[in-house]
């Protein structure tokens, strides 16, 4: 079974305005297949908290269906995510609930996919210490695609990958975290979460405390960090 | 202190402002260069006074008068030291566009985590060099094309067509300063625009338009 440590915390901007955290994350860990999702509701949209929560659930819904086929296309998984997200929003207008969407999904048939719409970070640290960062389609200067904003399949960055191997670490983060990370320390961060926080009794609480004590000047964003690993 | 500090940069996310300023000989008459110097000093001082921002404002000033050059290298506004400009020579605006493109595209000067820059063009005359190619290159560059742009035409001889091409947005307007004192008002507008954006939930999105009801032709 994989292990996971994840936390979302409200950034100073939302704390000051009395607004809740607009990030969301979801994990399903099982012997057959694993799923990790991180979503960042766009701060400028009034219902983005609901949008982020709906997106995590939509990915879970779509993933359950996608697992039924050993040859399911990632594009189909994404199409179901998009439709499921809109359905889960119900009466909420999608453009008022815009959110990024990043996920790692295993299909239980020896395959996995990484997919990303919008900014944030997906990275893997292999057992040998090498780090691979999933490429993004963001437009630079933080201009981001999102569910609920005009986009196409081409704006998703996705691909099939090998499922997590023993000793490998997967890291997903919203841009409140990823924009401030030193590029050369991403693998070390994943290892620190797995090795130092993982054994603690309440690792998520400790991680949340660390995220609240973010030390980068002028930081304002909500922050979500999720690390999944296979011992 | 957060252990996470070991994994993060300790620099705030910059919001770059690049001013391309005409300092050709014609700027030396009617008090224009004096007004420009005062306006620039006030803008930088205003940025220094800003607090509670989401971004850290960085400023650079490129001048074109006789030749184009970097008068104020890109750096934190809070640490900027202003020295007055003089006016001299022709109007090599194209060379200034090229300098601006190089500056904005330089990942060391404007890092990837920076917010969208604001480019401000101020001129009282017509370019005296090959400007079109350089402006096209700036507007087509990956980052220059995404920058917010503002333009000020000073006096009756300013080339509004060039300034409009710089804005490259039919809905954007070229501001006019028919008198030297109006240069200050334009830079107050720039200051408000940048400050509002740096405080907003998403500094990469244009801040709401500032109330133009300031008694002059905005």
Separation in Å, CA of B110 to nearest CA in chain A? 10
Exposure class string for A46-58: b at 16+ Cβ within 10 A, else e: ebbbbbbbbbbbb
Domain assignment present for B92: yes
Q: What is the CATH number of the domain that holds A65?
A: 3.60.40.10
The residues that bridge with A171 in the sheet, in sequence order, are A123, A227
> For A35-91, how does the pLDDT look when each residue is reduced to its tens digit (9 = 90+)?
999 999 987 778 999 999 999 999 999 999 999 999 999 999 999 999 999 999 999
The residues that bridge with A35 in the sheet, in sequence order, are A28, A105
pLDDT for the residue numbered B217: 42
The 3-state DSSP class for residue B135 equals: helix
Task: Measure CB to CB from residue A141 to each of B10, B53, B204 and give the nearest one.
Answer: B204
Surface-to-core class of residue A144, CB atoms within 10 Å of its CB (0-12 exposed, 13-18 middle, 19+ buried): buried
What is the rounded CA–CA span in Å between residue A156 and residue A118? 8
Give yes or no for A73 touching B (CB within 8 A). no
Number of H helices, E strands in chain B: 5, 6
Inter-chain residue contact A217 with B1, CB threshold 8 Å: no
Give yes or no for B10 touching A (CB within 8 A). yes
**Considering only residues 33 to 72 of chain B, which have any Cβ-Cβ distance to chain A shorter than 8 Å?**
53-56
pLDDT one digit per residue (tens) for chain B, 218 residues: 678 999 999 888 899 999 999 999 999 998 999 999 999 999 999 988 876 677 889 999 999 999 999 999 999 999 999 999 999 999 999 999 999 999 999 988 998 888 899 999 999 989 999 999 999 999 999 889 889 999 999 998 999 999 999 999 988 889 999 888 889 899 999 998 888 878 777 777 766 555 444 444 43
> For A115-164, how does the pLDDT look when each residue is reduced to its tens digit (9 = 90+)?
999 999 999 999 999 999 998 876 567 667 899 999 999 999 999 999 99
> For A203-222, how does the pLDDT look when each residue is reduced to its tens digit (9 = 90+)?
999 999 999 999 998 888 99
Residue A157 phi, psi dihedral angles, 5° rounding: -105, 115
pTM assigned to the model = 0.83
Inter-chain residue contact A215 with B113, CB threshold 8 Å: no
Three-state secondary structure readout of B36-49: HHHHHHHHHHHHHH
> For A170-209, how does the pLDDT look when each residue is reduced to its tens digit (9 = 90+)?
999 999 999 999 999 999 999 999 999 999 999 999 999 9
What is the rounded CA–CA span in Å between residue B185 and residue B210? 12
Inter-chain residue contact A217 with B10, CB threshold 8 Å: yes
Q: Is the pLDDT of residue A93 over 80?
A: yes
User: How many domains in chain A?
Assistant: 1
Q: What is the CATH number of the domain that holds B148?
A: 3.40.50.410
pLDDT for the residue numbered A41: 95
Domain assignment present for B130: yes
Task: Measure CB to CB from residue B12 to each of A188, A210, A218 and give the nearest one.
Answer: A218
pLDDT for the residue numbered B143: 87
Task: Measure CB to CB from residue A210 to each of B3, B12, B56 and give the nearest one.
Answer: B3
pLDDT for the residue numbered B196: 84
Q: What is the ipTM of this complex?
A: 0.90
Contact A141, B119 (CB under 8 A): no
Kindly state the average pLDDT of the residues A92-113. Answer: 96
Inter-chain residue contact B9 with A43, CB threshold 8 Å: no
Its domain, for residue A70, covers: 3-229
Its domain, for residue B64, covers: 32-199
pLDDT for the residue numbered B50: 73
Q: Is the pLDDT of residue A109 over 50?
A: yes
User: How many domains in chain B?
Assistant: 1
Inter-chain residue contact A215 with B10, CB threshold 8 Å: yes
């Amino acid at each position: 079974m994989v292990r996971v440590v994840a936390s979302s915390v409200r950034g100073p901007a939302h704390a000051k305005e009395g607004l809740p955290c607009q990030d969301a994350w979801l994990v399903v860990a099982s012997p057959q297949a694993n799923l990790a999702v991180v979503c960042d509701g766009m701060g400028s949209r009034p219902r983005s908290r609901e949008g982020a929560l709906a997106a995590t659930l939509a990915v879970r819904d779509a993933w359950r269906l996608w697992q039924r086929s050993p040859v399911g296309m990632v594009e189909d998984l994404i199409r179901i995510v998009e439709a499921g997200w809109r359905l889960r929003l119900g009466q909420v207008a999608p453009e008022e609930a815009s959110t990024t969407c990043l996920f790692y999904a295993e299909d239980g048939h020896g395959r996995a996919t990484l997919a990303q719409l919008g900014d944030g970070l997906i990275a893997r640290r292999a057992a040998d210490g090498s780090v691979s960062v999933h490429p993004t389609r963001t437009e630079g200067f933080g201009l981001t695609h999102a569910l609920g904003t005009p986009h196409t399949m081409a704006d998703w960055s996705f691909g099939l990958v090998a499922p997590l191997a023993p000793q490998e670490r997967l890291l997903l983060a919203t841009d409140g975290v990823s924009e401030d990370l030193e590029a050369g320390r991403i693998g070390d961060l994943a290892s620190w979460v797995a090795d130092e926080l993982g054994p603690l009794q309440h690792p998520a609480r400790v991680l949340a405390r660390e995220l609240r004590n973010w030390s980068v000047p002028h930081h304002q964003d909500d922050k979500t960090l999720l690390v999944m690993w296979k011992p | 202190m957060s252990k996470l500090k070991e994994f993060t940069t300790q620099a705030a996310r910059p919001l770059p402002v690049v001013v391309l300023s005409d300092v050709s000989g014609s700027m030396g008459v009617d008090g224009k260069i004096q007004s420009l110097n005062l306006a620039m000093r006030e803008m930088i001082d205003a940025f220094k006074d800003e607090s509670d921002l989401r971004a850290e404002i960085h400023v650079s000033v490129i001048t074109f008068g006789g030749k184009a050059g970097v008068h104020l290298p890109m750096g934190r506004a809070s640490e900027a030291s202003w020295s007055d400009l003089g006016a001299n020579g022709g109007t090599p605006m194209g060379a200034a566009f090229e300098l601006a493109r190089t500056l904005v595209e330089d990942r060391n000067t404007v890092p990837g985590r920076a917010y969208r820059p604001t480019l401000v063009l101020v001129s009282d005359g017509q370019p005296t060099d090959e400007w079109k190619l350089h402006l096209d290159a700036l507007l087509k560059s990956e980052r220059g094309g995404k920058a917010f742009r503002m333009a000020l035409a000073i006096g009756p001889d300013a080339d509004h067509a060039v300034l409009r091409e710089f804005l490259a947005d039919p809905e954007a307007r070229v501001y006019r300063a028919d008198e030297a004192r109006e240069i200050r008002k334009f830079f107050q507008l720039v200051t408000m625009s940048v400050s509002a954006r740096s405080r907003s939930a998403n500094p990469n999105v244009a801040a709401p338009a500032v109330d133009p009801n300031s008694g002059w032709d905005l």
